[in-house]
Amino acid sequence: MNRITQKLQEDKKILSIYFSAGYPNLNDTVQIIQNLEKNGVDLIEIGLPFSDPLADGPTIQASSTTALHNGMTTQILFDQLKNIRESVKIPLIIMGYFNPMLQYGVEAFCKKCAEIGIDGLIIPDLPVDVYADEYKSIFEKYGVINVFLITPQTSDERIRFIDSVSNGFIYMVSSASVTGSQSGFGNTQETYFERIAEMNLKNPQIIGFGISNKETFNQATKYAKGAIIGSAFIKHLSENGSGKIEEFVGGIR
Amino acid sequence: MSFNVNEKGYYGEFGGAYIPEMLYPNVEELRQKYLSIMDEPDFKAEFNQLLKDYVGRPSPLYFAKRLSEKYNTKVYLKREDLNHTGAHKVNNTIGQILLAKRLGKKRIIAETGAGQHGVATATVCALMGIECIVYMGEIDIARQAPNVARMKMLGAEVRPALSGSRTLKDATNEAIRDWINNPVDTHYIIGSAIGPHPYPDMVTRFQSIISEEIKWQLKEKEGRENPDYVVACIGGGSNAAGTYYHFLHEPEVGIIAVEAAGKGVDSGHSAATSKLGKVGVIHGCKTLLMQTADGQITEPYSISAGLDYPGVGPLHAHLAQTGRGEFFSVTDDDAMNAGLQLTKLEGIIPAIESAHAFAVLDQKKFKPEDIVVISLSGRGDKDLDNYIDYFKL
């Protein structure tokens, strides 16, 4: 069974952390992953940096740009992660934009993920329709889970379609925004969280965008299986380097 | 072979809508409604009336006698430079603002490189009394001060794009991020034949007035609708798409596309996407794209701010791949000299973008009886500083 599916069956709220690979320093990737696991994080999204991350706000853009300046590439990331399964047990997801994957070759990319032990991908600019038509069979062949986003504007009908194509979890974008651009949830979000919770989807949902601290984490996980923190963790890395991860995770739960 | 977009938004293997889910409702709404709105009689009437009385269409098809003598062929110029705001861009912004109104949108965003599309967007927003925000790379803001001032006079807010290379591609990223953040009340007026489906087709249709007019104008002057060649410069490719549109399926009409070679195709400072690009995804569509082996998008270069885009519209990628279009690359030097030559022979100062198209006359030998229509997509007023610097005027 895929590590993501297994993790989601545990009777607990999932804390997922995103960071950009190669940030703050090129070779921090593995150490950050190990520290996150050691401090009780359930799932990690490893950002594959891209020159034009159009769904990301300033914090993730900047970390992505720094990572590219540091020399990060798809091949270097795969090399860094080559032996990751010798030390890390929790599910690992690569989150990145479609173009670098297209250049690597979608099949070669999935194959490499399977070899290393990467359990899933999140590709914000690969729409579910194109995935279903052109790439689903490749992902299935290598047992790599593809995770799709929904937003407050996504229609019920489309959510049902996304649910039917998904086989891990659904990434619920908390509000209409790029990453890292809001603080706290109001009534609009709570209504949306409730609406989705009541749809009884076959895939569990994990909420991302706008989760930055204990309060927002608790609010989100009241309705969903888990929550994802990205920009807030990257800010922590910029201020503290890769050393004080315990403090950050400890502050969430 | 078809050069129209198919049901899924592709020209051959190029096009589609590679967008984050956050943009899906907006793009899907547009996809479902653009054709029916454009087909409404009152939309057509309003669009045509504005093109006539406000833009000043039809733009003349002018026989360039001295230029023709010099190259021993028959050269006609399609005078998009005479449009209100000085370029073809306004054909599209008029169309899209009318469409945005019918979609009930209250706020317009746009990207701009040199500022021509920004000015054309700010203009129609002033005309309609709609809020307008134009994203422009911080570097472009510094080097295109007159257009920034124009946009401000027209009531638009010009927001600097501070990310990445701080030029056109980053301004486009910022506009897309704005649209993600404002998914309900905002329409994004893309300025070129790029972006997710239906944008390339929609922009092409609004610009197709160019080739529609060429047909009847040429019939009046030469007794035939089809020239032997149509020539246009290509950045993203909106003037080219409009110039080609009604000739795409007329095999006797040669289609010539002119890209900016910058300091030379292989100099490392170029925007010749058809020569240097590989299949990739940028700003929501699959197309030819200048990028590193690792799939990072690279920064193109051209002396002309309107041509330095790292991709090319999906229609043009398809024309290049199938060979339907013949693609030329023109260096900064050749474009500048072609611009000066047009000025001296015909008394017309072209935009540096358009000057690239004229340099083809030195690269391809046309027959004396050939009719060659060149799209003069914009006027050169905005480029005077560049001309002054280059020629030490």
Q: Please give the interface size between A and B, counted as residue pairs whose CB atoms are below 8 Å apart.
A: 110
Nearest C-alpha in A relative to B174:
A54
CB A94, CB A119: distance < 8 Å: no
Q: Choose the closest CB to A55 out of B180, B182, B298.
A: B180
| Minimum distance, in Å, between the CA of residue B161 and any CA atom of chain A | 11
pLDDT digits (tens, 9 = 90+) for A80-114: 999 999 999 999 999 999 999 999 999 999 999 99
pLDDT value at residue B166: 86
CB contact under 8 A, B21 and A61: no
Catalytic residue status for B111: yes
List chain A domain ranges. 13-252
| Minimum distance, in Å, between the CA of residue B169 and any CA atom of chain A | 8
pLDDT surpasses 80 at A181: no
Active site residues of A: 45, 56
Q: Which two tokens stand for residue B133?
A: 């925000």
Nearest C-alpha in A relative to B170:
A52
Q: Choose the closest CB to B169 out of A52, A125, A158.
A: A52
pLDDT value at residue B143: 80
**B316 Cβ partners below 8 Å, 6+ apart?**
B193, B234, B237, B240, B241, B257, B274, B288, B325
CB of B180 within 8 Å of a chain A CB? The answer is: yes
Catalytic residue status for B165: no
pLDDT value at residue B361: 98
CB of B138 within 8 Å of a chain A CB? The answer is: no
Contacts with B164 from chain A: Cβ below 8 Å: 51-52, 61, 65
pLDDT value at residue A253: 83
pLDDT value at residue B372: 98
Secondary structure in 3-state letters for chain B: CCCCCCCCCEECCEECCCCCHHHHHHHHHHHHHHHHHHHCHHHHHHHHHHHHHHHCCCCCEEECHHHHHHHCCEEEEEEHHHCHHHECHHHHHHHHHHHHHHCCCCEEEEEECCCHHHHHHHHHHHHHCCEEEEEEEHHHHHHCHHHHHHHHHCCCEEEEECCCCCCHHHHHHHHHHHHHHCCCCEEEECCCCCCCCCHHHHHHHHHCHHHHHHHHHHHHHHCCCCCCEEEEECCCCHHHHHHHHHHCCCCCCEEEEEEEEECCCCCCCCCCHHHHCEEEEECCEEEEECECCCCCECCCCCCCCCCCCCECCHHHHHHHHHCCEEEEEEEHHHHHHHHHHHHHHHCCCECHHHHHHHCHHHHCCCCCCCEEEEEECEECHHHHHHHHHHHCC
pLDDT surpasses 80 at A183: no
A54: helix, coil or strand?
A: coil
- Which of B6, B8, B18, B21 is the mutation pick for testing A, counting most A CBs within 10 A? B21
CB B235, CB B192: distance < 8 Å: yes
Listed by number, the residues of chain B in 296-315 with a beta carbon closer than 8 Å to a beta carbon of chain A are: 296-298
Contacts with B170 from chain A: Cβ below 8 Å: 52
pLDDT averaged over every residue in chain A: 95
Q: How many CB atoms lie under 10 A from the CB of residue A117?
A: 17
Q: Is CATH 3.20.20.70 the classification given to domain A13-252?
A: yes
Distance, in Å, from the CA atom of B170 to the CA atom of B186, rounded to the nearest integer, reads 19
| Minimum distance, in Å, between the CA of residue A38 and any CA atom of chain B | 32
Nearest C-alpha in B relative to A149:
B21
CB contact under 8 A, B295 and A176: no
CB of B7 within 8 Å of a chain A CB? The answer is: no
Beta-bridge partners for A122: A95, A147
CB contact under 8 A, B173 and A58: no
CB contact under 8 A, B289 and A99: yes
Tell the burial category of B84 from Cβ atoms under 10 Å away from its Cβ (0-12, 13-18, 19+). middle
Distance, in Å, from the CA atom of B54 to the CA atom of B167, rounded to the nearest integer, reads 30
CB contact under 8 A, B181 and A181: yes
pLDDT value at residue A242: 83
Q: Among residues B74, B89, B105, B382, which one is catalytic?
A: B89
CB contact under 8 A, A99 and B183: no
pLDDT surpasses 90 at A67: yes
pLDDT value at residue B194: 97
The confidence band for A204, taking pLDDT boundaries of 50, 70 and 90, is very high
Q: Choose the closest CB to B19 out of A99, A100, A127.
A: A127
- Percentage of chain A beyond pLDDT 70 is 99
Catalytic residue status for B8: no
The single residue listed with the structure tokens 């009534």 is A187
Nearest C-alpha in A relative to B287:
A99
pLDDT value at residue B101: 98
Nearest C-alpha in B relative to A62:
B163
| Minimum distance, in Å, between the CA of residue B21 and any CA atom of chain A | 6
Contacts with A50 from chain B: Cβ below 8 Å: 295-296
Q: Choose the closest CB to B281 out of A99, A150, A158.
A: A99
Contacts with A96 from chain B: Cβ below 8 Å: none
A→B contacts (Cβ < 8 Å), by residue, are: 50-55, 57-58, 61, 65, 68, 73-75, 97-104, 124-128, 130, 148-151, 153-155, 158, 173, 176-178, 181
CB B342, CB B79: distance < 8 Å: no
Q: Choose the closest CB to A103 out of B16, B25, B295.
A: B295
pLDDT value at residue B167: 86
CB contact under 8 A, B16 and A99: no
The confidence band for A1, taking pLDDT boundaries of 50, 70 and 90, is confident
Could you give the domains of chain B? 21-50+89-202 (3.40.50.1100), 56-87+208-391 (3.40.50.1100)
Burial A150-169 (b: 16+ CB within 10 A, else e): bbbbbeeebbebbbeebbbb
Nearest C-alpha in A relative to B288:
A99
pLDDT value at residue A187: 86
CB contact under 8 A, A125 and B281: yes
Q: Could you read off the pLDDT tens digit of each residue along chain B, which spans 393 residues?
A: 899 999 999 999 999 999 999 999 999 999 999 999 999 999 999 999 999 999 999 999 999 999 999 999 999 999 999 999 999 999 999 999 999 999 999 999 999 988 999 999 999 999 999 999 999 999 889 888 899 999 999 999 999 999 878 889 999 999 999 999 998 899 999 999 999 999 999 999 999 999 999 999 999 999 999 999 999 999 999 999 999 999 999 999 999 999 999 999 999 999 999 999 999 999 999 999 999 999 999 999 999 988 989 999 999 999 999 999 999 999 999 999 999 999 999 999 999 999 999 999 999 999 999 999 999 999 999 999 999 999 999
